[in-house]
Amino acid sequence: MKRFALISLLLLSLGLVFAQMSCYDVQYTETAGDGTYPSPYAGQTITVTGIVTNNTYGTTSTYPTSTKFYISDPGGGPWSGLYIYVFGTGVQVGDQVICTGPLTEYYGMTEMVFQTGVTNVQIVSSGNQVPAPALISTAALASPANGALGEQWESCLVKVENVTATTTPDSHDEFFVNDGSGAGQIDNACFLYGHHFTGFTVGQHWDRIVGIVDYNFNLYGLNPRDNNDIYTTSNQDYVVLPEAKLMGSYPNPFAGETTIAFNLKSAQNVNISVFNLKGQKVRTLVNEVKAAQLHNVTFDGKDDNGVQLKPGVYFYKMAAGNNVESHKLVIR
């Protein structure tokens, strides 16, 4: 009987270890759901471990210091972050924590929430190295949000490089920058309450902006944690934005359909067509005047007659004004 009890206790201990998930385990999915790619564990109580990357998200006059936080797998990268909507834990950046609680999708944002008697945050160690920010394109933050492109970076520590301001901060301290792939939002939700971006102008250039990616109002945004996350050039140079930019497609390779994104600085006629390797046009996707903004067009892998194209390599080309660009496309 004692041996049986000992074995049972050992199995229980192993079960608790195996039940402890990484952020990647919690976040990764290929199921679009409602378009926000919800976690497969939504609605369940889970235990997850990670390194705290920010502990100042969403401070208000009511909660100026005791606030929510983000954790990350030590290696960083896509699907590596998680938002913990729990107050008063006292966690600091660099703490390794074990968090247990219900997982939910709050308007498309995956988060662990507080439930009395269930949610618990344990600080295991402090002073751990925070994972290096992953380099992403501003297209991953583009509006309207491309769920498949942006979701993998939700709650992750990331950076964008060589970006130019395309707008100035609005009344919510949100503004947009572009690295040539499409305009992405920068927000100040990780700054302490009362912060405002000042002195930013359209055309201003930064070498790098680091921050946490969140998802609010159907839009991904990069949130610098403080002013040190915004790296300026020595001469604060200004650049001329391209009139039109073909951002790419996702997924690629694809089976079924893919989304092609392009960005326009001004309203103009745009032609986007698909060609085979012989240079023969097989499909016209866009041929009309489009407004100055980010656009997405869906390609279902069929030609102009509605016939499914054979698997293989194709090219799609955009002509807008004096700008002509083409990218490779693979149909599985």
87 and 24 belong to one structural domain:
yes
Do 110 and 54 share a structural domain? yes
Cα–Cα distances (Å) from 213 to 68, 80, 81, 219, in that order, read: 14, 11, 9, 10
Q: Domain for residue 211, yes or no?
A: yes
In a domain, 6, yes or no: no
The pair of structure tokens assigned to 104 is 């939910």
Classify residue 147: in a domain, yes or no: yes
Residues 35 and 100 in one domain: yes
Residue-wise pLDDT tens digits, 114-159:
999 999 999 999 999 999 999 999 989 876 656 678 899 999 999 9
CB atoms within 10 A of CB 298: 10
User: Does 97 reside within a domain?
Assistant: yes
pLDDT (0 to 100) of residue 143: 64
Position 193 scores a pLDDT of 85
Residue ranges for the chain with pLDDT beneath 50: 1-18, 234-240
Q: Are residues 143 and 97 in the same domain?
A: no
Domain boundary among 199, 232, 265: 232
pLDDT score recorded for residue 248: 76
In a domain, 293, yes or no: yes
Q: What confidence score (pLDDT) does residue 180 get?
A: 84
pLDDT confidence of residue 86: 93
pLDDT at 301: 96
Q: Are residues 170 and 211 in the same domain?
A: yes
Q: What is the phi-psi region of residue 241: left when phi exceeds 0, alpha when psi lies from -120 to 50, beta otherwise?
A: beta
Domain that holds residue 83: 19-125
Would 14 be classed as within a structural domain?
A: no
The pLDDT assigned to 66 comes to 65
The tokens of 64 are what? 């100026």
CATH number at residue 288: 2.60.40.4070
Looking at 125, 146, 174, the residue that finishes a domain is: 125
CATH number at residue 151: 2.40.50.140
Query: Structurally, how many domains does the chain consist of?
Result: 3
Q: Are residues 219 and 261 in the same domain?
A: no
Assigned domain for 3 exists? no
Task: Please tell me the predicted confidence (pLDDT) of residue 129.
Answer: 95
**Residue at a domain's end among 184, 207, 232:** 232
pLDDT reported for residue 34: 84
Same domain membership, residue 120 and residue 23: yes
